Homo-oligomer: A and B are copies of this chain.
């Protein structure tokens, strides 16, 4: 049995949870808040970050390493594409969302709207939130651009690029920084993912003390 150390608004935990659900891998969830700096967690992952996926024989760290492990060990539902070029395009987009979207949008939002509100009780930095929302707008333009040309983000098939993207987008949406008007291709894509039984459980969860906007879990938003 796999145990996943994660918390509900961690985008990289969402990515692994959604990938596990699509691959048909059952995981037991363990709440882990990296900012608690729990000693036992540092022993699992010296980087101190969620997610960590563990069973009795192996400990997997880093969402990209975990997803590659799932892709290599579970042949059902391939998620990276058919040949080396398709896989390279999937990986380019995964890096885009894991690093660029996260750095420009999700990380500042988590810091300003989640961490400061729930843990340090500081006032959020309004300029940082505006900057993250502007960056989110540019990323939605890029989603629209891709989805005007492709059925899913990396090509004709749903895969890890979509999973990496929706993990970030759904957290930014929970934190109120996504303006969907004017982004019909991205909205149609997100609505299709929201309706998947493998994704819906994520939308039901709440971070205590931090409610999402009312449209957050609606299929029609």
Contact = CB atoms under 8 A, between A and B. Distances in A.
B46 A142 contact: yes
A209 interface: no
Given A60-B88, A85-B58, A88-B60, A96 B47 contact: yes
Interface in A147-193: none
**Residue in A69, A88, A99 with the greatest tally of chain B CB atoms within 10 Å:** A88
Interface string A18-31: 00000000000000
Interface residues of A, number: 24
Chain A interface helix/strand/loop/mixed: helix
A60 B47 CA distance: 28
A84 interface: yes
Contacts of A61: 88, 92
Contacts of A99: 99
Nearest to A46: B142
A62 B142 contact: no
